[in-house]
Chain A
Amino acid sequence: MNGFTLTPVETKPLSFSLPVIGAAGGFVGLFVGTAHGSGLMGVAIGAVALMVLAYVALVVLGLAQEKITRWGLVALFIVAGVLLAGVPGFVLGLLFGLFFSWFIFWIGEGRYRANLAPYLTSGQVLWHYAFRVICGAIFIFLITPILVVMPLSFNAQNFFTFTPEMLRFDPAGYSLKHYQDFFTSNEWQQALRNSLLIAPAATVLSVSFGTLAAIGLSSEHVPFRRAIMAILISPMIVPLIISAAGMYFFYSRIGLQGTYIGVVLAHAALGIPFVIITVTATLVGFDRSLTRAAANMGADPVTTFFRVQMPLILPGVISGGLFAFITSFDEVVVVLFVGSANQQTLPWEMFTGLREQISPTILAVATILVVISIALLTTMEYLRRRSERLRGMSPS
């Protein structure tokens, strides 16, 4: 990486580089081919085409012409992309061209060994890269469904469809009307208000009760600690639909069904286990002699709690609170039972919207929520690092 190599690079024999590059070409060809009707044809064409290109680049033109060859390859891929799929093909062609023009020389010239220790066997080298590819594949698997939603939310049509206009990058294919719908529709705004009212209230309750419960359960003189703990975290283990149905009938009898307080209490019950678990975990590392030292210096238990114990277990409390907030903010099953039409939250609105009317407004809301989540997490992480830096710890 930093300009020096661990292992001297040597040109690989064609009997090695051509099949490897061909395999990569076949893999890409599988996707292109499937999009055009025949996956098998795609594999065959991709593999053969890439082997031919690699042969031309590595043998006929050779290392001396590398720069020109690379640009030629990029241009070639772009032309092929445009011919196959128009404007979107241009983007794909550009990406594939950049990748393969690098990949052909990376394999062919044996550059992939440059940053690895010279004593590694071929198997270890293979695993080194296979591991990274697997990690990348898992990352793509996790992130693609979220990313796909974002461009679709700018759709000018009322369907979850990449229209031909969108694929041509024609501005007419895009619009902000679904965002406008979200910000102007009464239902969505009411749902947003409900969510912003219920989730923080439920979080405050969860954090207060959960922290107290965790501190109580971690002191040794409490009888039946394990049994109490098991009961308190049961909302996390019992299937949600069971808790929801039980709460529905119980809350109906005591007049809490269909009220804000009912939904807040139900969500607090769901959030408490998260707080208990994170705070209990932080308390394991808490030195009890500190509370005795505080008592020794004349602090009463309440002062000790707020001045000594709380600051030290705060990270656990905050992350438990975050979980509790997200649980309430994302929750749809319990609120469908315990809430009534006046307590429709964002997930409820999205759920009914998806079932009755597949409208991209849902995608616009999803995009806004993703952006807010990213902003929240980034801010949290920044503040955490900042406070650690101020306290003289190295950020971890």
Chain B
Amino acid sequence: MKLTKTLLATTALTVAAGTAVTAQDMANSLTIVSWGGAYQASQDKAYVQPYLAANPGVTATWDESSAEAVAKLRAMNEAGNITWDLVDVVASDSMRLCDEGLAMEIDHDEMLAAAPDGTSASDDFGDLIVSDCFIPQIVYSTTFGYRTDMVPAGTEPPSSVCDVFDLAKYPGKRSLQKRPIDNMEWALYCDGVAKDEIYDVLGTDEGVERALAKLGTIKDQVVWWSAGAETPQLLADGEVFMGSTFNGRLFSAIAEQNQPIAMLWDMQSFDLDGWIVPAGLPADRLARVMDFLKFATDTQRLADQAAYISYGPARTSSAPLVGKHADLGIDMAPHMPTDPANAGNVHIYDYEWWADNRDDLDAKFQAWLAQ
């Protein structure tokens, strides 16, 4: 099994790298897995539709299954029946899939387009290539939004992430993601831990207790969410005063839906989203996927995506090309999590630390939730 896979991957590499690839050798359909909603729509408009227009006869099908990508790829691998061609996952999932051999290793310089000025792809993406299987697309952040009309009269609007923990100054419900990641770090930061010591403290049992105790001060005012659409819905309903979610969801609620919501960028937590190619694809399908990937992750396409959603393009060379929103005509740069005005105080989420400690902290967090 392992040998066949390696062989297949090697053949595929040669096929993709060779210049002799013709359209006849490529499959004519693509099954692309993503998250649905506005994010998938931005991918569709920025690179899938242009690609299909340039390659008549090719069809693309979306599958909104990224949320369970790891489990489904495991099942497909066991059943020996890979039905997906390209999967959009968050960085941590790409690491797991890569470790388990479910995702194909990528030679970024060989397989992806260089920047217009000749910078190689791996330099252009830089540190964002967090795993050998991962092709970054966007930088997004998990951050807070609050209802501007629910700020208590005579009080300044919230400006620090610690205002989330200040029930006296800002009474009302908050929505937080139902997982320890980010929440534990914010809790420690607001309990007085210096930013660069957060993971050292969180590595000890007392540190975990301390973070949970801080979260405990607002526990009875928290609505826990698990899907990105929930916080915008809760904010629009006025069910919560403030809540965390992905910054693109908040942008959509504020700019496209005109809700009385404002962003709180302080201590936003950066994360990455990108493609992985499932391991073990037949040669013709793999050739099509690599052809698509080369197009879809080039400098211009990543910049185009930012016209539809407020996520930062993963290539350094794309940043200057970010323009205006496709429908609203507003400048997108100030809405990017990476914009200097927004990125004054950011929280860099430590993938490796969480990969090592996730199971343990998940168990403790769930036990604490059930108390």
Chain A interface (Cβ < 8 Å from any Cβ of B): 157-161, 187, 248-249, 252-253, 257-258, 340-342, 344, 352-353, 355-358
Contact = CB atoms under 8 A, between A and B. Distances in A.
Given A161-B236, A341-B61, A356 B36 contact: yes
B36 A357 contact: yes
Interface residues of B, number: 31
B328 interface: no
Interface in B52-82: 61-65, 67, 75-76, 78-81
Contacts of B159: none
B229 A358 contact: yes
A257 B80 CA distance: 11
A252 B79 contact: yes
B326 to A, nearest CB: 17
A355 B227 CA distance: 6
Contacts of B259: 159
Contacts of A352: 36, 64-65
A357 B35 CA distance: 9
A157 B260 CA distance: 13
B37 interface: yes
Interface in B20-63: 31, 33, 35-38, 40, 61-63
Interface of B: 31, 33, 35-38, 40, 61-65, 67, 75-76, 78-81, 83, 227-230, 232-233, 236-237, 256-257, 259
Given A158-B257, A341-B31, A353 B36 contact: yes
Contacts of B31: 340-341
Contacts of A344: 63
Given A158-B257, A356-B227, A252 B80 contact: yes
Contact of B257 (A159, A252, A341, A356): A159
Query: Which secondary structure dominates where chain B touches chain A?
Result: mixed
A254 B65 CA distance: 23
B353 to A, nearest CB: 28
For the complex of A and B, 10 pairs with smallest distance between CB atoms: A356-B36, A252-B79, A357-B37, A341-B63, A352-B64, A252-B81, A159-B236, A358-B229, A341-B61, A356-B37
Contacts of B65: 352
B61 A358 contact: no
B236 A157 contact: yes
A158 B360 CA distance: 38
A16 B75 CA distance: 69
Contacts of B80: 252-253
Contact of A356 (B78, B79, B228): B228
